Structure 1
Amino acid sequence: MKTKTLKKNKVNIITLGCSKNMVDSEVLSGQLLANDIAVVHENKKVDHNIVVVNTCGFIDKAKEESINTILDQVELKRKGKLEKVYVTGCLSQRYKDNLEDEIPEVDAFFGTMELPLMLKQLEADYKAELIGERLLATPKHYAYLKISEGCNRTCSFCAIPLMRGNHVSKSIEDVVREAEGLVRMGVKEVMLIAQELTYYGLDIYKKRMLPELLNRLADVKGLEWIRLHYAYPSKFPMEILPVMRERENICNYLDMPLQHAANNMLKAMKRQITCEEMEELVAAIRAEVPGICLRTTLITGFPGETQDDVEELKAFLEKMRFDRVGIFTYSHEENTSAYDLADDVPAEEKERRAQEIMEVQQEISYEKNQEKIGKVFKVLIDKKESGRYLGRTEFDSVEVDNEVVITGDKKLKTGEFYNVKITKAYDYDLEGEVI
């Protein structure tokens, strides 16, 4: 009688989209490991037999990348190189029925809140006691820390509430416990993320509790940098600013997507704020936290946008002189209120406008970087690449902002801080030497 040898499962998780998805993948990894199931992120060896694709459904380009990734994995399954393909994340949440019809080779689709169901499919038990424990997909010295899920805003262009639901805050105790666990793993920098950071606490504490949360996190021993991402400008909680100013380990950095500056566009986007109010807010933030780095994100090509609106946006950038700017072209998303409007700006024109706006910001970025020459900054070393060390100042977040290229022959340690004197500056990056 032949005995059947059972090969142990190994799960590869492929994460697409934003940092919030990355955290979800890391949590899934932690749960699988706790169930003695081998798990890897973005495995290049293809020595795994199961794949979980964590998808993004934010805009057209992201959806296309997600679909292509699923099809690539299905093809590997067809060739016998994989046994199972599972799909989760925002695309799966939003288009589950369509995807099941169009890609039946996928073994199961799961929504953004169906982790216990997915674990059951993978023959694992959901362990509630594992709050905050996860296998990091980032280098071990930094991590994203999600403080809430979902969003209560009704921005006309945004499909996130359709995929992530209403705003739900984690308790302060849970966030602090998670931060403490990350520090024990070697994390020195946490990037606080949420769909809407400044709404934190309103649902469970009946008031905005971000200032209290920041103070509690700043008390965590070993946490050297705390960085704030995705603040909403309308009803901005000014109480966080003294905390940012007074607590040394809270980075003087704020990521606050504004989306546009022309009032007719802001109104059509349902942003609940005017250009004049945004200017006042930026001035107030800079007055409260001198030297703060402000990052914003913009959208070009929204329905009805004219060249005059683009000129207003460019003038706003020149006046405000943000340190960092990212830009998206508008994506016409079904079931958003903007979907009822005519998507009347051609794709090529959206791209042209985005380029035109970024040329304005490129000049501002260059000028601001030139001002840093000769100054010394505390720099966190992220990696060594092509024989050079690459790091960041407190004014730069991972992947989206400037890098500091370290010159010289000194051996440096990844994940350590060094004082670096800036010797050269470019549009988006700096060069410097350790002193």
Structure 2
Amino acid sequence: MKAKTLKRDKVNIITLGCSKNMVDSEVLSGQLLANEIDVVHESAKRDHNIVIVNTCGFIDKAKEESVNTILEQVALKQKGRLDKVYVTGCLSQRYRDDLEQSIPEVDAWFGTMELPLILKRFEADYKSELIGERLLATPQHYAYMKIAEGCNRTCAFCAIPLMRGAHTSRSIEDLVGEATRLAQRGVKEIMLIAQELTYYGLDLYKKRMLADLLRHLSDVPGIEWIRLHYAYPHKFPMDVLEVMRERPNICNYLDMPLQHAADNMLKAMRRQITRTEMEELVQAIRETVPGICLRTTLIAGFPGETLDDVEELKAFLERQRFDRVGIFTYSHEEDTPAYGLVDNVPAEEKQRRAEEIMAVQQEISYEKNQEKVGQTFKVIIDKKEAGRYLGRTEFDSVEVDNEVIIHTDKKLLPGNFVNVKISRAYDYDLEGELA
């Protein structure tokens, strides 16, 4: 009599939200793989029987996307195309009780810090010796590296501390070990992420240690670019800039969300800084690292924002001329300090203000890109698409910033560095030929 063969489980992980969630999914993938469980990331093949949705709960749009994705996977389960649907991440951490009631078809819900519990569902062990080991969901030549978890800031609009807890730094030794392993796997660029980079080390070492971490990471053989994301402006550690200036493999790039420029808005948002102090900081950063690319993020439609505040923010952008700007419309989040305020700007007006602010930045971006025409830049190749290569300069991060379109008959591989002379420039992209 022929024995029945049990079908082996295959897990598909769907990641929503920010790069910090991406890293969590990569770590989960690495643990599953180490336990000999087949795992893929956002596979379209539909040859898996289990799905884990790693959710985002940051703002309304992200929550809506997360819920819709869960419902899509539940529908596949009901059609018999999936055996199990598990949910983890920020949305699950924050709204687990409500979600269990409203979507009972999900097999289990997990919070942001419950990786060992997820593994138990697969009768798998959490392998502590694999800390830092990940199955990369990014192309092989770049990777995000999370240097800390959680946040101690009390920004009025932000629910991240509710979902991620207090700031917890990883040790320099662990991070250097991870960077070394990434470099051995072919990673050329690492992007340092945390909810707040500049707080790094205060919990572990009783002082800010981001500059020391950068020195150690820049010594790792094979790492050619190190990029900094999500720096808080209040009490910004200026020694970070000295290291950036000293070390050629630390990109002259800083992502520093400012959120607004009107003092009354900054106070209401609990940002611990004034417009004048921000302007002085930006000037000091540019003087210390000439040519640095500054990226910032703003919020439109915070409770109490007036049209005068919007005009002040636009004037601030015109004066400071940031290289990159992103903007969110305010989302009224339960249990945040701002939730006690009246959300008095209608959604359509929030969007209108955001578009008006971005129109100012679009012109600035176009002018700054035009200045690059005729110049030659070192570019990392990301991919080939529609017969042309796409890459980035050290002033551009993945997905959120400029791409460089390169026309050449020469074969280039992802992760190659080439020199490109810029021949044309647009609002948010550049075009050029190999120099």
Report the counterpart of residue 361 of structure 2 in structure 1: 361
Alpha-carbon distance in structure 1 between the residues aligned to 2:52 and 2:348: 34
SS at match of 2:85: strand
Report the counterpart of residue 90 of structure 1 in structure 2: 90
How far is the alpha carbon of 1:414 from its aligned partner?
1.4
Alpha-carbon distance in structure 2 between the residues aligned to 1:228 and 1:122: 36
Deviates more, 1:283-292 or 1:4-13: 4-13
Report the counterpart of residue 228 of structure 2 in structure 1: 228
The runs of 5 or more residues in structure 1 that have no matched partner are none
What amino acid maps onto 2:360 in structure 1?
V
Map 1:244-259 onto structure 2 (within 5 A): 244-259=244-259
Question: Which digits, 9 at most, give the CA deviation of each residue in 1:331-355, with x for residues without a partner?
Answer: 0000001000000000000000000
Alpha-carbon distance in structure 2 between the residues aligned to 1:181 and 1:56: 28
How far is the alpha carbon of 1:407 from its aligned partner?
1.4
How far is the alpha carbon of 1:378 from its aligned partner?
0.3
Report the counterpart of residue 80 of structure 2 in structure 1: 80
Report the counterpart of residue 180 of structure 1 in structure 2: 180
Map 1:201-280 onto structure 2 (within 5 A): 201-280=201-280
Identity of aligned residues (%): 80
Q: Does 1:197 align with 2:197?
A: yes
How far is the alpha carbon of 1:4 from its aligned partner?
3.3
How far is the alpha carbon of 1:131 from its aligned partner?
1.2
Report the counterpart of residue 423 of structure 1 in structure 2: 423
SS at match of 2:129: helix
Report the counterpart of residue 319 of structure 2 in structure 1: 319
Deviates more, 1:2-11 or 1:109-118: 2-11
Q: Does 1:397 align with 2:397?
A: yes
How far is the alpha carbon of 1:185 from its aligned partner?
1.0
Alpha-carbon distance in structure 2 between the residues aligned to 1:343 and 1:2: 67
Alpha-carbon distance in structure 2 between the residues aligned to 1:152 and 1:36: 37
How far is the alpha carbon of 1:357 from its aligned partner?
0.3
Map 1:159-170 onto structure 2 (within 5 A): 159-170=159-170
What amino acid maps onto 1:190 in structure 2?
I
Report the counterpart of residue 57 of structure 1 in structure 2: 57
Alpha-carbon distance in structure 1 between the residues aligned to 2:408 and 2:397: 24
Report the counterpart of residue 309 of structure 1 in structure 2: 309
Report the counterpart of residue 375 of structure 1 in structure 2: 375
Report the counterpart of residue 129 of structure 2 in structure 1: 129
How far is the alpha carbon of 1:408 from its aligned partner?
2.9
What amino acid maps onto 1:5 in structure 2?
T
Question: Which digits, 9 at most, give the CA deviation of each residue in 1:232-283, with x for residues without a partner?
Answer: 0000001111100010000000000000000000000000000000000000
Question: Which digits, 9 at most, give the CA deviation of each residue in 1:347-396, with x for residues without a partner?
Answer: 00000000000000000000000000000000000011111100000000
Q: Does 1:102 align with 2:102?
A: yes
Alpha-carbon distance in structure 2 between the residues aligned to 1:331 and 1:343: 9
SS at match of 1:265: helix
SS at match of 1:277: helix
SS at match of 1:389: strand
Alpha-carbon distance in structure 1 between the residues aligned to 2:350 and 2:123: 46
The alignment of Structure 1 onto Structure 2 pairs a total of residues equal to 435
Report the counterpart of residue 413 of structure 2 in structure 1: 413
Question: Which digits, 9 at most, give the CA deviation of each residue in 1:285-307, with x for residues without a partner?
Answer: 00000000000000000000010
SS at match of 2:315: helix
How far is the alpha carbon of 1:2 from its aligned partner?
6.8
What amino acid maps onto 2:200 in structure 1?
Y
TM-score for the superposition, normalised by structure 1? 0.99
How far is the alpha carbon of 1:410 from its aligned partner?
2.1
Map 1:21-36 onto structure 2 (within 5 A): 21-36=21-36
Question: Which digits, 9 at most, give the CA deviation of each residue in 1:115-157, with x for residues without a partner?
Answer: 0000001221100000111100000000000000000000000
Alpha-carbon distance in structure 1 between the residues aligned to 2:45 and 2:172: 40
Report the counterpart of residue 68 of structure 2 in structure 1: 68
What amino acid maps onto 2:433 in structure 1?
E
What amino acid maps onto 1:145 in structure 2?
M
Report the counterpart of residue 44 of structure 2 in structure 1: 44
How far is the alpha carbon of 1:3 from its aligned partner?
3.6
Alpha-carbon distance in structure 1 between the residues aligned to 2:29 and 2:241: 35
Report the counterpart of residue 332 of structure 1 in structure 2: 332
Alpha-carbon distance in structure 2 between the residues aligned to 1:42 and 1:91: 19
